[in-house]
Amino acid sequence: ESAINSFFDRNFGSRGFNGSFLVAKDGEILAEGYRGFRDPVQKTSVLGEHDAFHLASVSKTFTGMAILKLWEDGKLGLDDDLSLYFDKFPYPGTTIKMLLNHRSGLPNYTNYLDVYKWDRKKFVTNLDVLASLYKMRPSLQFPTGKRFSYCNTNYALLALIVEKVSGISYHDYMQQTFFTPLQMNDTYVFQQ
């Protein structure tokens, strides 16, 4: 406990740490704790073991897992062109594998939506991202498949492919395929 407290003091100092931690060795939990609040600004409701954290890009790992599960089940091919899933997709030659590997060349919606005056008060859905590619047709960052560039647009499209191929919502697919069978009882897909 003193090593943990020392770590937090050294790395977070007076600003404090807001989150949870777990220290394990050889499959045995040595220490587990929760510090801070559900709302760190208001400082109400102390964090506990069942509180969820918005993990943003960590979810890309789960989306990739979903795509690979559908591939394993023979429901899609990694070299499939996106036009198989999105009629007349405006960026020909883009494949599922390129999305997974951040090699699509597609522009990152977190950058181009501002240029096209997206209403910042409106929550951006995956369907909004797809529609914006058709409507706005932002330029590719580089020729499709030619290099790597981390891109959120890729994973928004992959989540839509999961829905299209599975016939159910991304949330339901993740819950039925991974979270429930693996007893991930405190893992959720954020829904607006």
Residues that are catalytic:
57
Q: Measure the CA–CA gap between 183 and 12, rounded to whole angstroms.
A: 32
Closest residue by Cα to residue 137 from 111, 112, 159, 110: 112
Give the sign of the dihedral formed by CA 25, CA 189, CA 129, CA 120: negative
Helix intervals (H) in the chain: 2-12, 59-72, 96-100, 109-115, 126-136, 152-166, 170-174
130: β partners: none
Answer left, alpha or beta for residue 146, where phi above 0 means left and psi between -120 and 50 means alpha: alpha
Q: Measure the CA–CA gap between 125 and 56, rounded to whole angstroms.
A: 14
Note whether 122 and 178 are within 8 A (CB): no
